[in-house]
Amino acid sequence: MLAPIELEPIKAGQEKLERVFGNAYAFSIPSYQRPYAWEAEHAQALLSDIVDAMDQALAAPKEPITYFLGSIVLIKAPGAPRSQVVDGQQRLTTLTILLAVLRDLSDASKQVSRHRFVCEAGDADTGAVERPRMTLRKKDAEYFRLNIQEMGSTGTDATPLARNGAQRCVAINCAFYRRKLSEWTPERRDALMRFLLQRCYLVIIAVENVDVAHRVFTVLNARGLDLTPTDILKADLLERAVDETEEEDLASRWEAMEEIVGRERFVELFQNVRMIFQKEKPRRRLDIDFPRVVPAFAHPSAFVRTLLEPIGDQYRLLMNRPAFEERYGEAAAKRLAHLQRLDNGDWLAPALRFLWNDGKPGVEHVELFMRKLETLAYFLFLSRADINARISRYAALIRDIEDASASPGAKGEPTWSGRSVALSHAEQTTMLAILDEDVYEKTRVRLPLLLRLDGEVSGKGATYATDVVTIEHVLPQNPEPNGDWTKTFAASDRAAWTHKLANLVLLDRRANSSARNWDFATKKARYFATRQGVSPFALTTGVIYAEDWTPARLEKRQTELKRALAKTWDIPFPPNDATPP
């Protein structure tokens, strides 16, 4: 028999940001936590979602419209403000940056009042000392205090002062919020400040014991076989069946499709079907939205037979390159492989709509569609378009697919291949300009882009057996002061070329720090080549066979690499007589 025990108390409740960033809490990040890592796209998404909710609230001022920012887990004793953040660091830090930028963009009369949400003011009468509302890890706390929390500090770009990735993320997100909100009127910024403090809230889970806090965090983030939105939708659908026989048939068909696709991906399939019909960013849970926006769901048998099964079959192919290639050909499958490397799957909805729309389209039509879709997807990826921009563009493409007639357009192409999928001249120019930037500094972009480029240079679509692919610089990032590299490259040339496409190669093994500063000949022979004397990557092989590595060669190589991508993406490129890299 189990003996009775006293359970550790857990306090949970929702709090407005006005109170979250008030005297009841003094947040700190324990040293064991990972550093701040939200990039600009995360900061953009947070602001975009908050602004969407704010605009809805402004349009309906009498409606109780709020915005839920999620839950955070704290180690906190009752009645004491000291709060160690176990889960929620990224959101709290980003919200602090946003509040600091709004503070610094305010007029002088409001700055002092708004500063109290970033730093607690000292009070001699009560004994309170001035302190920041949030303290980052020891490595980053001072940087955050000086460049975010001090009044007026967000007006200066702190990126050059960043000493690590966390500080760089802080600076980049601060600069984004400053740039974005500077375009607003003071009245609209005031409205955002009020909405943040009065209508945005967090659920705060506070425990006194670190072990309990970690167990709560684990449970909240566990991936078990919990009820999914599609489980709820299945129950809803079966309730609509006309009789027991139809119910059994529908359940069998539904479960067979779920097994083929996989439980987690089955939810993703439904999310993409919702996007096809809704054509905008979802604002409600999937199980609530889906019956509302997908008319066929009201007719269970027709939904399963004419929508779920055929579109599920196409989704399965999009998740399985060999099966996709068997049905639609090698050229289309190569494009699919490149799409699968991107850091988002928003392209899936228009791909599904096209394949489902045509039933079993011909190989040539699928090849053309995948070529254009991949070009658009890489433009949105390279330009770091946020989720709202991506959804808007893909929704327009879905509409074009649905509106397309059977007859070809003026140039012999189908009518869906119009402006929603084709890049404008300005977008083509932007895409080429991005390729000339320091792509190595774009952490989320660089590996997919280099793999995409390698596939084009190799002409094989390039898939690799290795699980480890690293990016290496030919010209080192930090060459020896008096070595061969500094003799060949002036300081200005090193600054111009170090992080460019032309200077980067791929390796199928982990980085070797001792090899990075070797001279060019040694690097080629001992680092870039394999035991067989070649590399599996075409980009790297081109370097191995180069006689030297100079600014002139880099300039020539950069042009040819850009030309290779421009050709595959149907972007006009000035001709020259240079040989391939």
Q: For 168-215, what is the HEC assignment?
A: HHHHHHHHHHHHHHHCCCHHHHHHHHHHHHHHEEEEEEEECCHHHHHH
User: At 382, which amino acid appears?
Assistant: L
- Each residue of 414-449: pLDDT tens digit? 667 667 899 999 999 999 999 999 999 998 999 999
264-268's contacts with Cβ under 8 Å and 24+ in sequence apart are: 265/315, 265/319, 266/228, 266/230, 267/228, 267/229, 267/230, 268/345, 268/348
116 vs 209: CA distance, rounded Å: 29
> Residue range 257-268: average pLDDT?
88
Closest CA to 355 of 273, 459, 283, 290: 273
What's the confidence (pLDDT) of residue 210? 67
Report helix, strand and coil shares of the chain as percent, to nearest 5.
55, 10, 35
Q: Which two tokens stand for residue 468?
A: 């480890």
Burial of 233: CB neighbours in 10 Å, binned 0-12, 13-18, 19+: buried
- Each residue of 318-357: pLDDT tens digit? 999 999 999 999 999 999 999 999 999 999 999 999 998 7
Helices and strands in the chain, H and E counts: 26, 10
- Give pTM, 2 decimals: 0.69
Model confidence band, residue 579 (pLDDT cutoffs 50, 70, 90): very low
> Residue range 363-390: average pLDDT?
93
281 vs 393: CA distance, rounded Å: 12
- Each residue of 68-88: pLDDT tens digit? 998 898 988 888 899 999 889
Model confidence band, residue 577 (pLDDT cutoffs 50, 70, 90): very low
SS3 call for 518: coil
Examine the pLDDT at 197 and tell me if it is beyond 50.
yes
Highest mean pLDDT out of 9-18, 326-335, 466-475, 520-529? 326-335
Mean pLDDT estimate for the chain: 86
C-alpha to C-alpha distances, 149 to 115, 152, 192, 574, nearest whole angstrom: 8, 8, 19, 49
What's the confidence (pLDDT) of residue 137? 86
Residues facing residue 11 across a β-bridge:
206
Model confidence band, residue 15 (pLDDT cutoffs 50, 70, 90): very high
What's the confidence (pLDDT) of residue 580? 39
Contact at 8 Å (CB) between 85 and 29?
Answer: yes
Secondary structure (DSSP) of 511-553? --GGGTTS-HHHHIIIIIS-TTS--SSHHHHHHHT-S---HHH
In this structure, of 24-33, 175-184, 392-401, the range with the lowest mean pLDDT score is 24-33
